[in-house]
A and B are shown apart, each in its own frame.
Chain A
Amino acid sequence: MLDLFLAELKRSWILLSRYATETMGGIIATTFVFYGLFLSSRYIAGPGIALGDRLDSVIVGYILWTLMLFIMGDVAGGLQDEARTGTLEQMFLTPYGAARVFVIRAIGSLSIQLTLNIVIVVAIMLITGSQLAFPPILVPPFITALLGAYGLAFTVGSLTLVFKQVRQVQSILQFGLLLLLAAPTETWTGSLRLVGWLMPIAPAAGLLRDVMARGLELDGVRMAIASLNGLFYFTGGVLLFGWAERLTKRQGRLGGY
């Protein structure tokens, strides 16, 4: 399995380096779009108002959003590209099983993307003068956020297998993701809190905001909820992918586009 991961990592890195201009352009564009957002919000709020930890929360949310968009595009967009170029069926001719290969591939390309994201984070912090905390305790909520994102990505990937063209769904989901990440579910009370717990990624995003932007300790109960949430969506997404694979194989439409 390690061999497969390293092979996927190498493949992702090579493809990324062959698209070096697009990669660099993406990093620069992401950073500047955020800087634009930052300037706009400061203009509306007025120069006298300090955005403080609210700005840090926005940065955390924005970074998470770009990462989630990458995951979504990587899995669902990757499937569409493979179907278009014809290599998709070869992915299903592996003794490892297609779902496992796609999960490992996603982890491989995420490792590279994370490195790029660190570059974006540093750039954003330099531009805005914001200081984010990066304690090791942010790793668990970060992983649960990724699990949720992968769950959603594999759900969209399943739709891609079945319906082939899901660009519209992806576009809508981009804004849905922004809502999930930006919604301050950690401050919700009563029945709304329960809704927040059930929303994909939202509990993990709230924890990340607490740890990174507000410098709070990790809450054990909320961490457990975020973990269950992440595992639930990840398992659901992968199971749905397996179902979509069987359905398209039954319909004889696996390689079509």
Chain B
Amino acid sequence: MSILEAHHLYKNYHLKGKVLAAVQDVSLRMDGNEVLAFLGANGAGKTTTIKMIAGLILPDQGSVRISGRDPHRDPWALRSLGAVLEGTRNLYWRLTPEENLEYFGVLRGLTRSGARRRTLELLDRFDLTHKRREMVQTLSRGMQQKLAIAVALIHDPQLLLLDEPTLGLDVEATETVKTIIREVAAEGRAILLTTHQLDIAEELSHRVAIIQNGAIAIEQPTATLIRQFSGTAYTIELALGLDSDRMSKVEALGGVVKGNTIYVREPEIVYEVLDLLKPLPLIKVEQDQASLTEIFLQVIHPVNAPSPSL
């Protein structure tokens, strides 16, 4: 059984007599140990989809199952769900980290003693023990974000929804949150991550789903998607320039030499070129690789972007 199964979700909003199709036929499935980057431009339907999964917006059609339970009919389905929606908006700013964790633990269905035990565990794990008695409003943005994730994990949910978890964080805090996300997923949880920081999505996700105009435009494992959108050319960077004999032989094979760099369009000739270069010192040999940012832009603006080599 998958941790998340969302089937054929539809949602229309009625605004001043007009119908806005916010989500159309969106299906998502997630298993444990998995981070799914759910990407889309503003207004593409990400938030509506996430909130339908969390039971906060009622779908017009379709169904959601979290660990086999429907959050729209069975409130105990929410026992398997943790969510950080819109930054740190799951914290009481006039309570301390300890008080927030204990309160939300009970609210999510733990006993008081269970909530207390988990609070101490999470404060320790997230390195917040020394700040446990300070009001949330006095903590740094990074600490608030760590606490927000800790609060979402207080009841040990299987599915974690993270909406822009690194927004507004400095470099160090971003790295900390990224480490937390990796660790939390490795514990067997499914993490549905939305972010506009596509480099972070690329780094963390196992799969990517891009939503556009309310519908899933593409959904693939991250590595497959990047491979699919990447070119087949190779770049070979040398420590020193080529002598004229080698240069002419490389060019005769079809390579292009520019300074200390050789571009090889045909992957079949890469080893022949490398044989010619032996024993010159190399700095790097790499295949041209698309970034998730380029892929995202190509998917949402296919006309303006260069066509992918599919």
Contacts and interface: CB of A to CB of B under 8 A. Distances in A.
Interface of A: 3-4, 6-7, 10-11, 14-15, 18, 85-87, 89-97, 101, 246, 249-252, 254-255
A15 B100 CA distance: 12
Given A11-B95, A97-B75, A254-B51, 19 more contacts: A3-B111, A4-B106, A7-B107, A10-B102, A14-B95, A15-B92, A89-B89, A90-B83, A90-B90, A93-B54, A93-B56, A93-B81, A94-B78, A95-B75, A95-B76, A95-B108, A95-B109, A96-B107, A249-B56
B118 interface: no
Contacts of A246: 58
A200 to B, nearest CB: 29
B89 A86 contact: yes
Interface string B267-291: 0000000000000000000000000
A92 B58 contact: no
Interface in B42-61: 48, 51, 54-58
Most buried by A among B76, B104, B135: B104
Nearest to B87: A86
Query: What range describes how many residues of B lie at the interface?
Result: 35 or more
Interface residue SS majority, chain A: helix
A252 B89 contact: no
B85 interface: yes
Given A4-B107, A252-B48, A89 B85 contact: yes
B100 to A, nearest CB: 9
Interface string B99-115: 10011101111111001
Contacts of A101: 107
Nearest to B135: A18
B184 to A, nearest CB: 18
Contact of A252 (B51, B83, B85, B94): B51
B257 to A, nearest CB: 57
Contacts of A15: 92, 94-95
A87 B92 contact: yes
Contacts of B92: 11, 15, 85, 87
Question: Which 3 pairs of residues, A with B, have the shortest CB-CB distance?
Answer: A86-B89, A7-B106, A249-B58
Contacts of A255: 51, 56, 85-86
Contacts of B107: 4, 7, 90-91, 94, 96, 101
A95 B78 contact: yes
B264 interface: no
Contacts of B78: 93-95
B126 interface: no
Contacts of A87: 89-92
A87 B152 CA distance: 12
Most buried by A among B79, B95, B110, B135: B95
Most buried by A among B79, B90, B107: B107
Nearest to B88: A86
Contacts of B189: none
Contact of B104 (A85, A90, A95): A90
B215 interface: no
A254 B57 contact: yes
20 contacts: A3-B110, A3-B112, A7-B107, A10-B99, A14-B94, A14-B99, A15-B95, A86-B85, A86-B89, A90-B89, A90-B104, A93-B108, A94-B107, A95-B77, A95-B109, A101-B107, A246-B58, A250-B58, A252-B11, A252-B13
Nearest to B109: A95
Contacts of B56: 89, 92-93, 249, 254-255
Nearest to B51: A252
Interface in B156-209: none
Contacts of A18: 94, 135
B22 interface: yes
Interface in B13-71: 13, 22, 48, 51, 54-58
Contact of A94 (B22, B75, B99): B75
Contacts of A90: 83, 85, 89-90, 104, 107
Contacts of B77: 95
B245 to A, nearest CB: 68
A115 to B, nearest CB: 20
Contact of A10 (B75, B103, B108): B103
A7 B102 CA distance: 8
B74 to A, nearest CB: 9
Contacts of B102: 7, 10
B296 to A, nearest CB: 25
Contacts of A96: 75, 107, 109
B106 A85 contact: no
B93 A85 contact: yes
A81 B3 CA distance: 33
A166 to B, nearest CB: 21
B145 to A, nearest CB: 14
A92 B48 CA distance: 16
Contacts of A92: 55-56
Nearest to A88: B89
Contacts of A85: 89, 92-93
Given A90-B90, A96-B107, A252 B112 contact: no
